[in-house]
Amino acid sequence: MDRGLSLHSNHSDLGCREYSKHTRLSQGCESGHGRGGRSVTPSRNEHTIAVSCEVRGRGYWSGRDVRVVMHPAPVGTGIQLVRSDLPSKPMCQASVEKRNDANLRTILHDGDARFEMIEHLMAALVGLEIDNCLVEIDAEELPGLDGSAAAFVAALRTAGLIIQSQPKRRLTLRERIYVESPAGWIEATPAEDGHTSYEYRLSFDGPSPIFDQTFTLRMTPERFIRDVAPARTFVTEAQAQSLRKQGVASHVTNQDLLVIGEHGPIENTLRFRDECARHKVLDLIGDLALANVELVGNFVSYRGGHNLNGRMAQRLAELAASQIPLTHISQSHRNVA
């Protein structure tokens, strides 16, 4: 993103100031707490988008055409997902409390409001530092697109950015947090330099067409856009064949995601040599976004997946709540159209 473009008009109804879409997203207000201060401190101000934008595509699992419309939202709203295809238009807050475990994807569920494969949208919002957004989705499953977050990022960048009047809560880690499973682990540790980083270490038991690889992202919006957002979902050729035999994702072609065979991607080309590890970083960012607080720390995942990511998000949310309770959503925020 370009830096330093001019400030535009006030928007008092959103409690904010508007910046053009290319303004550096990390502008805001910083708190001067030292190492001995609280773990959750105000950092930058909250952000929303300036105008509505949309993305259309097809669900990987359902095969249904899906329209996702993202709208500006007032301070304190968070990310609210709305089932626009249902008569009552049920809503679900994007938070770890609403998360359900599922194989190969993250699901949110609140009453009649159910949303599948939300991690790429959430990663795009976090990567661009967008905190308040009303997202209307006319199906249960979000579109798979090309298996990355690139389309969501492109739409949100076009919509522009609003810097709002309320400080964004920040969780600065002061202690190690560790979650594990028989297959892998995730470790969160303090960031000595105050900069957040995400690392994924990819490794498979036994022979695999996907080589062991590691990718580390020192988080900024610019680096997220360039280095992680384009990284696509991947499966091995054996996994793809198994899913197709089960009648799952039979409409998905080898161009719709990365199918890795013995000699590399089938009917496709890698965008990065370590694209698989980069995509796992994308998933990690999107899943940890459900902690609903800006994170400052180092997050390392060894062979982790959505389940471990969710467990870490829960620990982070609990730690944040124990320090300074997060802002609750008011009824007026829930009624945003």
Catalytic residues: 306
Distance CA 11, CA 196 (A): 31
DSSP assignments along 213-279, one per residue? EEEEEE--HHHIIIIITTPPPEEEHHHHHHHHHTTSSTT--TTSSEEEETTEESSS--SSTTHHHHH
| Cβ-Cβ contacts under 8 Å for 6 (sequence gap 6 or more) | 20
Q: Which residue, 217, 205, 220, 211, is CA-closest to 270?
A: 211
Q: Are strands 79-83 and 91-93 parallel, antiparallel or unpaired?
A: antiparallel
**Biggest alpha carbon–alpha carbon distance for the chain:** 59
Matching residue, tokens 């590399």: 264
Matching residue, tokens 């998933």: 283
